[in-house]
Amino acid sequence: MRTKSTIKAGKMNGAKTTNLTALQYFNKKKYLYLMLLPCVIYFILFHYVPMYGIVMAFKDFDFGKGIWNSPWIGLENFRYMFSLPDFYSVLKNSLTLSLLRLLFGFPMPLLLALMINEIRMVKFKKTVQTIIYLPHFISWVVIGGILVNFLSPTWGVVNKILGSFGVEPIFFMAEEKYFKWMVVLSSIWKEAGWGTILYLAALTAINPELYEAARIDGANRFQQLYRITLPCIVPTIVTLFILRTGTIMSNGSEQILVLQNSQNLSVSEVFETYTYRVGIIGGRYSFATTVGLFTSVIGTVLIVCTNRISKMMGENGLW
């Protein structure tokens, strides 16, 4: 019969074994952890340390008093934010642009990766990959200048072509009905190629023997794609989709600021530009923090909910 001292000794030996195993594992992977260290330091310094500034959303921030000495006002900033008529217009614009990007932009890297994966000529495949990666490295300022020149109602190439068919010049940068599609399409052109990297990495991890067995059974290319390729990369698709839903309230300040003007402001004003205009330029830093905290909380809730739905459907989640 086991005594209390025997049980206690067994637990202590188990804890020592676990600690020893962890140390052995760390020692074995120490160079990998060393390579990870700069990334960890970056996130700590630029993502976690600044989080103390969240308290500004609950204070009447005063530069002279600093963050901690500024008076607490509770949820007053949030009440003020929800009472603004502009807030709901900005919320609508942000959701509209994000949902359009999710609907049309999210599948594009997957489709491109599947098409590139079907290319059998190695040199041509690498050339295509390089070409579709390039737009990612072009700044939105340059892309904005290209769009302005291409879509100009006076000298733009697009309007010149439309004019040859008898169509009146269209001011694409000013008309509201064209702005959101211009944002979505330019975003797809710039980032779709870069987004194929993870999908192509997932595709290379698929066991080639599965395709050989499918060919022996008489499966054509489409059947192999539907029965083997897609099911094997579903975890990658689900993970990227969960992460994408977390940014549903974010549209990127660079692109919107470059393409925004006074004539399309009613559809181009999103949370990033609204925070910059009202909070930063207007000197209302507590309000800017409030808007940022609101969008972050919504993004976190969406990630948790999407991850939960993914687990309920039998797929892998983020945790």
pLDDT of residue 50: 83
Q: Which domains does the chain have, with CATH numbers?
A: 84-312 (1.10.3720.10)
Say what the pLDDT of residue 7 is: 46
Low-confidence residues of the chain: pLDDT under 50:
1, 6-12, 14
pLDDT at 44: 92
Other beta carbons less than 10 A from residue 202's beta carbon: 21
DSSP 37-54: HHHHHHHIIIIIGGGGGG
Tokens (6 digits) for 295: 């969008």
pLDDT at 42: 93
What does the pLDDT read at residue 62? Answer: 83
Q: How far apart are CA 81 and CA 88, in angstroms?
A: 10
Residue 52 has a pLDDT of 84
String of b and e for 214-223 (b: at least 16 CB within 10 Å)?
A: beeeebeeee
The burial of 284, by beta-carbon neighbours within 10 Å (0-12 exposed, 13-18 middle, 19 or more buried), is given as middle
pTM score of the predicted model: 0.81
Tell me the Ramachandran region of residue 221: left when phi exceeds 0, alpha when psi lies from -120 to 50, beta otherwise: alpha
Q: Measuring CA to CA, how many Å separate 2 from each of 11, 12, 13?
A: 13, 15, 15
